[in-house]
Amino acid sequence: MINALQSLGRMGLNRLKSLGQAGILLYRVLFCLPNIRKGFPLVVQQIYFEGVLSLSIIVVASLFIGMVLALQGYHTLAKFGALAQLGPLVALSVTRELGPVVTAILFAGRAGSAVTAEISLMKATEQLSSMEMMAVDPVRYVISPRFWGGLITVPMLTIIFNMVAIYGAYLVGVKWLGLDAGVFWSNMQSSVEWHSDVLNGLLKSLVFGAAVSWVAVTQGYFAAPSSAGIASATTRSVVYASLLVLGLDFIMTAMMIGAW
Amino acid sequence: MHSQKLLESLVGLLILLATIMLALLAFKVSGLTNFLPAPSFHVNAAFNDIGGLKVKAPVKMSGVQIGEVTRITLDSVTYKAIVTMRIGNDFNDIPDDSSAGIYTAGLLGDNYVALTPMYSKSYLKDGSQIEFTHSAMILEKLIGQLIYKLSGDQHATSEK
């Protein structure tokens, strides 16, 4: 009985400890900025690895999501004779929800896992400790560029996702199913607001970018230095990042609808 | 490992692509056009009842959009709704005795303001007031009147 209580307490303390470590890491990444001249090329490199190389999956996924959204919306709206609302339906659901959320989840799977695996392998092969031996701060040299690269990349990918998905819907709705192009675009323009729909969506994606990158670098940096540790760190990185994105999405949507 | 130069140019390309997409998102999807508002003038109209009219609702003449509603306030003396409209400078030859009415687009659509031209030789200009207005048709009121009338008829027939 006492033993069970003790193990429960130990588990709670360990959880709190790792949360605190992650918080300290985030603080160091955010406030101990690397030298701009030396850090900038590293961030550009990370934007390449996390952004440019994720572009293909983002474009393909968004095209199909936009197309299937238009197809489903068309058949549902046709029942109510409200086909003119297909453009607003697609544009609002993509800019407000699907764009930021799906991009962040795909990013967690495509780039976040890679970042975690890379950092945890560096830790397992003691590259991080040898950097410290050479008086190179691994947080500034390895962790920080990956975090900032992810933070900058996700909103850009979200913008591309939004536009490609809307063009996918245009392809299906207008070119295939024969909706009028003018009806599609003008109804969309009259019901999508620049500030409350598009900018709020991008604000969400900025927060998701920070969350996914933070989870990825934390899981990598505190991974157990073994092959099993790398495997479980990579898995946890994707799972935690995806769940965090979905949870944050609900909270931020509630805040945006309630207060802004 | 790619050279830094190639890598930087690819990242530059990504940023350029994202910027173009953002511009498309702004102008094509959200219809952000009031960065540079077209030259226009404001006119006021007082309505007894504006129904569900909202700011940014279109102002139309013969079905063509010529402007939008910019402000809705309540006159504290007459208790009428003062609707301020912004009309493009291209349409500066609207007779000043035109009438304004509030209509509904379709059965369930949004409200809009329709201007009906008259024959005066002087034109609407910035700050002028539209004198003749028709209030919005409120469906509930019409139904209420109809029921009242029907029940009135019933009383009349039963008294006979």
- DSSP string for A42-102: HHHHHHHHHTGGGHHHHHHHHHHHHHHHHHHHHHHHHHHT-GGGHHHHHHHHIIIIIHHHH
Across the interface, whether the CB atoms of A95 and B29 are under 8 A apart is answered yes
B87 falls within a domain: yes
Strand partners, A33: none
Given CB atoms, is B143 within the 8 Å cutoff of chain A? no
For β-strands B64-74 and B81-88, DSSP reports them as antiparallel
- Which tokens belong to B80? 């009428």
Which structural domain range is residue B78 located in? Answer: 40-137
Average pLDDT, integer, range B122-141: 83
Positions in chain A short of pLDDT 70: 34, 259-260
- Dihedral angle sign, alpha carbons of residues A154, A156, A160, A163: positive
Q: Are residues B82 and B24 in the same domain?
A: no
B153 falls within a domain: no
Q: How far is CA A112 from CA A8, A10, B14, in A?
A: 31, 29, 19
* B101 contacts B117 by C-beta, under 8 angstroms: no
Mean of the per-residue pLDDT values of chain B: 83
Interface contacts A/B by beta carbons within 8 Å: 67
Question: What pLDDT was estimated at residue A120?
Answer: 94
Q: Are residues B51 and B97 in the same domain?
A: yes
Question: What pLDDT was estimated at residue B108?
Answer: 67
Contact residues, chain A, for B8 at CB < 8 Å = 41, 44
The listed range with the strongest mean pLDDT (A231-240, B73-82, B108-117, B133-142) is A231-240
Shortest CA distance from B25: residue in chain A: A163
Q: Are residues B105 and B67 in the same domain?
A: yes
Question: What pLDDT was estimated at residue B37?
Answer: 66
B31 falls within a domain: yes
Q: Are residues B113 and B60 in the same domain?
A: yes
B127 falls within a domain: yes
Given CB atoms, is B13 within the 8 Å cutoff of chain A? yes
Across the interface, whether the CB atoms of A190 and B31 are under 8 A apart is answered yes
Q: Are residues B79 and B6 in the same domain?
A: no
Q: A224 φ, ψ to 5°?
A: -70, 130
Which phi-psi region, left, alpha or beta, contains residue B69 (left: φ > 0; alpha: ψ -120 to 50)? beta
Question: What pLDDT was estimated at residue A66?
Answer: 95
Question: What pLDDT was estimated at residue A114?
Answer: 94
Give yes or no for residue B159 having a pLDDT over 60: no
C-alpha B159/C-alpha B140 separation (Å) is: 28
C-alpha A172/C-alpha A179 separation (Å) is: 9
Q: Does ipTM come in above 0.90?
A: no
Q: Which helix (H) or strand (E) element contains residue B58?
A: strand B58-61
C-alpha B41/C-alpha B64 separation (Å) is: 17
- Which tokens belong to A168? 């996918």
Shortest distance between the Cα of B22 and any Cα of chain A, in A, equals 6
For chain B, the domain total comes to 2
Shortest distance between the Cα of A190 and any Cα of chain B, in A, equals 7
Give yes or no for residue B99 having a pLDDT over 80: yes
B49 falls within a domain: yes
DSSP B123: B
Q: Are residues B65 and B107 in the same domain?
A: yes
B66 falls within a domain: yes
B142 falls within a domain: no
Q: Are residues B59 and B98 in the same domain?
A: yes
Q: Are residues B12 and B85 in the same domain?
A: no
Across the interface, whether the CB atoms of B14 and A156 are under 8 A apart is answered yes
Residue with tokens 């498309």: B24
B70 falls within a domain: yes
Q: Are residues B49 and B128 in the same domain?
A: yes
pTM assigned to the model? 0.76
Q: Are residues B44 and B103 in the same domain?
A: yes
Q: Are residues B74 and B95 in the same domain?
A: yes
Q: Are residues B53 and B120 in the same domain?
A: yes
